[in-house]
Structure formats: C-alpha cells, structure tokens
Structure 1
Amino acid sequence: MGSKERVERLKAEVHQLILDAAMGIVKNEGCEAVSIRKIADTIEYSPTIVYSYFLNKEAVLIELSKRGFTMLINCIKQGLVSVTDPKERMEAMLMAFVHFATKENELYQLMYTVGSGVEDVGKAFPALSTFINLFRQEMQPLVKGNTLTEEAFRCNYLICMSFVHGLVSLNRYYKDIDPAMNNMVLKKAIEGIISTIELS
C-alpha cells in the first residue's frame, strides 16, 4: 500500500472515530452534551484535529443524523423481509419505526431536532427521500383503486409521522408504560391509520 493510500485510510479511520465518539456522547448524555472539546477528549486528539474534519458541532450532528436515517431505513427493511400481506407490511413498518425510535431514543430525537435547523432537509439528508419512498411504496397497495395521489400520500405520511412521534414522546414522559400497553396502542393506532389509507 502506497503512502497516499495509507494517509486516506488514516483519515477515514479518524473521521469514523470522531463520529463514533459523538454517537457515544449522544446515547449516554444526549445531543446537548456534544461538543468538539468532549469529542477530542474522548478520542484523545486535540480539538484542532476534530475541527480539521468538521467545521463545527452542528456539522458533526448533521452527519450523525444522516447515519441515524440510514440505520432507521435498515431497521424497517429488516422488519419487512418475511412479510407479504400489504396491511401486515404497513404494520411491520410502523412497528419497526416505533421500536427504532424507542431503542435509539437519543439518536432519534437528534435526527428530528437537527432537521428543524436545516434550510433544505431533503438536501441535507438524502436518506430521508429513501425513507419517504418506503412509505409511499407500502401505502400504494392499500389505496382503494390503487391510485395514490401526492396529496393523499402526504396526508397519510404525516399521520404516520405524527403517530410515531406522539407515541415515542409519551414513552419518554411516562416511563412506566407497560410494553403490552404500548403494543395494544400501537396495534389500534396502526389499524386506524391503515383504514384511513384504504379510504383515500
């Protein structure tokens, strides 16, 4: 391996080290705790080195959010692997979404907090388009007459997002919600969402 390849590999390793350290801080202490100094201390490099990879803390958080959307998409795709029935696929997708948001709570909060400060969310997070298209693809077979207009899709997509955000927020607030109750709420809400889609 030549010196140029070694330098590139080292740069990629340090870049990954920075993101892994930031992710650890987010998971253990929340996104407010992330700082360039704390990342530098964690990986035992100087803040100057971290700044040579990322302009500021916000740039690190945006990169973590991109990683979060990729993880979420993979989680949903895994949940759909063995499911064929359209209703069951929509249910599996929403279940996977809620489980990801609950399991990766701090990262999930970061993904949607960072997005609110970005001028063009679609441009900043290309994986978001993939995520939205997953919903479009799974909603299509549920629609009466099999024609999903853009307006109907947007409306139903926002209903799904509102439901997931709401349930995840309730679980953060009421820390003693029984998992069986969560599943019951999840099932009933998903039935309601699917019936709304079917009427579109």
Structure 2
Amino acid sequence: MGSKERILKKKAEVARSILDVALHILTTEGIDGISMRKIASRIEYSLPVIYAHYRSKEIITDRLTDIGFIKLRKQMEKFVANSEGSSSPLEKMLTGYIEFAFENKSLYLLMSSKSLEKLSGEHYRSEAEKLAVDFKAVIKNSLPAQRKLRESEIDTVYYGMISLVHGIITVCFASGKFSGRERDLIISKFVKAIIK
C-alpha cells in the first residue's frame, strides 16, 4: 500500500471514529449532547481535524441519519425474512420498524426530526427514499392480484402506515401503554383493512 492509500485509509478511519463517537453521544446524551468540541475531546483530536472531516454538527447528524435509515432497512428486512407465523410481510415490516425505534430510541428520534426538517443533503434523502421504495414495493406485492392501485394511492397507503407506526411509537414512548400483543393486533387489523 502506497503512502496515498495509507493517507486515505487513515482519513476514512478518523471520519468513522468521529461518527462512532457522535453516535455514542447521541445514544447516551441525546442530540443536544453532540458538539464538535465534545467529539474532538473524546477521540483526542484537535477541533480543526474534526472540522476538516465534517464542517458542522448538522453534517454529522445527517450522516447519523443515513446510518439510522440503513440500520432500519436491515431490521425490517430481517423481520420479513426471519419471522414465522401468519403475519404478512407488511405486518412484519411494520413490527420491525417499531422494534427498531425501541432498540435505537435516540437515533429514531433524530431520524424523525430530520424527516420533518427541510433537508439539504442528497445522500440523506436517498437513504430515506430507499426505505420508502422498499416499503412501497411490499405494499404493492401484498395487495390481491385483482386490486390494482395507482402510484399515488400506494403513496397514500405508505404514509398512512408510517403515520400508524409513528403514532404507536409515540404512545409507547410517552406512556408505555401498548404491549407487544396489543401493538401487533393493531398493526394486523390496519394492514388487513388496507389490503381489503
């Protein structure tokens, strides 16, 4: 490996370390705990080194959001592939989404807040869009053959399902009211109503 390759490898390692520390801070202290100065202190690099990799906290949180959407897609795929029982793939995806939020609360909250902001990063949008494309494909494939929906109708179903998931997560975070069984029953009834 030449010196140029070593430099690029070291730069990638530092960039990854910055994100790892930022994710740890997010998980333990929340979004308000993340600062460029705190990250620099934790990885023992100077502040200019941090700014050389990421010009702002906003860029770091955009990258964390990318990581979150990638992890969420993998979680949903895992639930569809590994779950047994009578649940449809759509129900399994929704359950995977909710479980992701419970397991990654701070990251989920960051992702939710970012989706409400006016986003500037194309990379961020592409990760969120990949999730939406996967989700919409499962919706389309879950419909009976005789039930054809236009793309705009599939979009409406998608947003309805995302709203349901976020509503369940919000209630659970606020009060812990839903048991897993109750949540699964709500999801099942909603999906069956949509499919019919």
Count of residues in Structure 1 that have an aligned counterpart in Structure 2: 195
Mapped pair 1:66 → 2:66: yes
Please list, as runs of the form range in 1=range in 2, the aligned pairs for 1:30-109 lying within 5 A after superposition.
Answer: 30-82=30-82, 88-109=88-109
Amino acid at match of 1:156: V
Whole-angstrom distance in 2 between the partners of 1:183 and 1:106? 20
Task: Give unpaired runs (5+ residues) of structure 1.
Answer: none
1:48 CA drift (Å): 1.0
Amino acid at match of 1:194: V
Q: Is the 8 A contact 1:86 1:138 kept in 2?
A: no
Match of 2:172 in 1: 171
Q: Is the 8 A contact 1:27 1:106 kept in 2?
A: yes
Q: Is the 8 A contact 1:115 1:121 kept in 2?
A: no
CA RMSD after TM alignment = 2.1
Whole-angstrom distance in 1 between the partners of 2:131 and 2:106? 19
Q: Is the 8 A contact 1:73 1:131 kept in 2?
A: yes
Match of 1:138 in 2: 138
1:165 CA drift (Å): 1.0
1:185 CA drift (Å): 2.5
Aligned pair in 2 of structure 1 residues 28, 84: CA closer, same or farther (>3 Å)?
Answer: closer
Amino acid at match of 1:113: S
TM-score by length of 1: 0.89
Whole-angstrom distance in 1 between the partners of 2:10 and 2:130? 31
Amino acid at match of 2:148: T
Q: Please state whether the residue corresponding to 1:37 is helix, strand or coil.
A: helix
Task: Give unpaired runs (5+ residues) of structure 2.
Answer: none
Q: Is the 8 A contact 1:122 1:129 kept in 2?
A: no
1:149 CA drift (Å): 1.5
Whole-angstrom distance in 2 between the partners of 1:20 and 1:161? 28
TM-score by length of 2: 0.90
Match of 2:194 in 1: 197
Amino acid at match of 1:51: Y
Aligned pair in 2 of structure 1 residues 11, 74: CA closer, same or farther (>3 Å)?
Answer: same
Match of 2:9 in 1: 9
The one-character-per-residue Cα deviations of 1:74-116 (angstroms, maximum 9, x if unpaired) are 1111111146999521111111100001110100000121232
